[in-house]
Amino acid sequence: ASVKSDTSSRCVSLSGSGSTDSGGRGDSLDLHNKHPDERWPRQNSLSMKEWDIPYDELKLFEVIGTGRFGTVYRGSWHGAVAVKVLHVLSDDCVPLDTFKHEVATFRKTRHENLVLFMGACMKPPRLAIVTSLCKGMTLYTHIHLRKDKFTANKSVIVAQQISQGMGYLHARGIIHKDLKTKNIFLENGKVVITDFGLFSVTKLCFGNKLVQSVRGDSLGIPAGWLCYLAPELCRALTPHASLHLPFSKATDVYAFGTVWYELLCGEYPFKSQPPEAVIWQVGKGVKQSLANMQASRDIKDILMLCWSYRWGERPDFPHLLSTLQKLPRKRLARSPSHPVHLSRSADS
């Protein structure tokens, strides 16, 4: 049963003029009569139309799932897509400029390990992001629901691809802000990272709600979210300082460390500890113990570096990638049982 979105509505142009999506197209022929200084804004607004998807072109089918800030539908727009409709509490909290700015940066992302961003829709007070539909399952489903075991070698291959995608994002100046196993798909062995950079859009829509739920009501805390937060983020989680959490490339690297731990151990760090205890410990620099972890020293070293208390001591993704690429070679020397597979991953 297909539920078509409201056809009477039109997308608001995100070029800032407030016109509808067809408005202004007719006078684009005037471009060459304009003073050179006036051409750039017009060209920018034209290029923005590429990702400004009118609601009436979009079909929404069943709900795939509901996350913290929105509902994801299977949809259709020139083929199968995923449509994330962000729930916004009221009209006046729609951060149009922030949305416009952030979505403009997603449009520039082209990488094998990143979900394909196709466009955005806006019908106040609703915002929607359209991406390619990921096949396969998330790492979260593999690790925590299906309890699939990732060998060290497979973990390394997955981590290398995450580092590649994240290194690309960072080189483009985009901070993910919500790197977690629920946002990493595995499609026939290929990693696809989703939901980059969306956190601040949703954060603006939700205002203080997020942190109130974190501090005030343990049940309001999304399971397995806190363990991705670097110490500087945990310390910033106060009821009054929620809008400016100090996300950075280094907080993404910390989150990657948690993903690396989940891959290797099959569970979250600080498993079954109450949120208050996790916030307090991480904020003070306490790390999940690795004493019971069955892994080589160099694998644990990566974890400890990513989880460094001081952000400046955490490696960046290109560095992580080269460290990870060296691991299989070392393991190969010890265990020559899968030489073809390993040498390929090490050289790629």
> Interface with ligand ADP by CB under 6 A: which residues?
64-65, 67-68, 70, 72, 82, 84, 115, 131, 133-134, 138, 182-183, 194-195
46 binds, among ligand ADP, Mg ion, none (CB under 5 to 8 A by kind): none
Residues touching Mg ion: how many (CB under 5 A)? 2
Catalytic residue among 178, 252, 298, 301: 178
> Which span (145-153, 180-188, 271-279, 325-333) binds Mg ion, by CB under 5 A?
180-188
> Which span (35-43, 193-201, 267-275, 285-293) binds Mg ion, by CB under 5 A?
193-201
Structure tokens at 131: 């991406």
- 70 lies in the site for Mg ion, by CB under 5 A: no
- 195 lies in the site for Mg ion, by CB under 5 A: yes
57-64 long-range contacts, Cβ below 8 Å, gap at least 24? Answer: 58/5, 58/83, 58/121, 58/128, 58/130, 59/2, 59/4, 59/5, 60/2, 60/3, 60/4, 60/5, 60/85, 61/2, 61/3
> Which residue, 100 or 176, is less far from Mg ion as judged by CB?
176
Min dist. Cβ of residue 178 to ligand ADP (A): 7
Residue number with the smallest Cβ distance to Mg ion: 195
> How many angstroms separate the CA atoms of 317 and 162, rounded?
9
> Which residue, 21 or 102, is less far from ligand ADP as judged by CB?
102
Min dist. Cβ of residue 73 to Mg ion (A): 13
Query: Which amino acid belongs to residue 17?
Result: S
- 129 lies in the site for Mg ion, by CB under 5 A: no
Least Cα distance to 124 among 96, 154, 101 occurs for 96
> Which span (24-32, 164-172, 190-198, 250-258) binds Mg ion, by CB under 5 A?
190-198
27 as an active site residue: the answer is: no
> Which residue, 195 or 232, is less far from Mg ion as judged by CB?
195
Min dist. Cβ of residue 141 to ligand ADP (A): 8
Min dist. Cβ of residue 293 to Mg ion (A): 27
> Which residue, 114 or 342, is less far from ligand ADP as judged by CB?
114
- 183 lies in the site for Mg ion, by CB under 5 A: yes
> Which residue, 21 or 195, is less far from ligand ADP as judged by CB?
195
> How many angstroms separate the CA atoms of 249 and 157, rounded?
22
> Which residue, 82 or 324, is less far from ligand ADP as judged by CB?
82
Min dist. Cβ of residue 180 to ligand ADP (A): 7
Residues of 260-296 as b/e, b for ≥16 C-beta within 10 angstroms?
Answer: bbbbbbeebbbeeeebeebbebbbeeebbebeeeebe
> Which span (20-28, 123-131, 166-174, 183-191) binds Mg ion, by CB under 5 A?
183-191
102-107 long-range contacts, Cβ below 8 Å, gap at least 24? Answer: 102/197, 102/198, 102/200, 102/201, 103/14, 103/51, 103/129, 104/48, 104/51, 105/172, 105/173, 105/174, 105/197, 106/174, 106/196, 106/197, 107/50, 107/51
> What are the two backbone dihedrals, phi and then psi, of residue 298, each rounded to the nearest 5 degrees?
-65, -30
> Which residue, 181 or 183, is less far from Mg ion as judged by CB?
183
Min dist. Cβ of residue 144 to ligand ADP (A): 12
Measure CA 122 to chain center.
20
Structure tokens at 42: 């017009």
Min dist. Cβ of residue 84 to Mg ion (A): 8
> How many angstroms separate the CA atoms of 348 and 329, rounded?
12
Interface positions with Mg ion (CB under 5 A):
183, 195
* Catalytic positions, written as ranges: 178
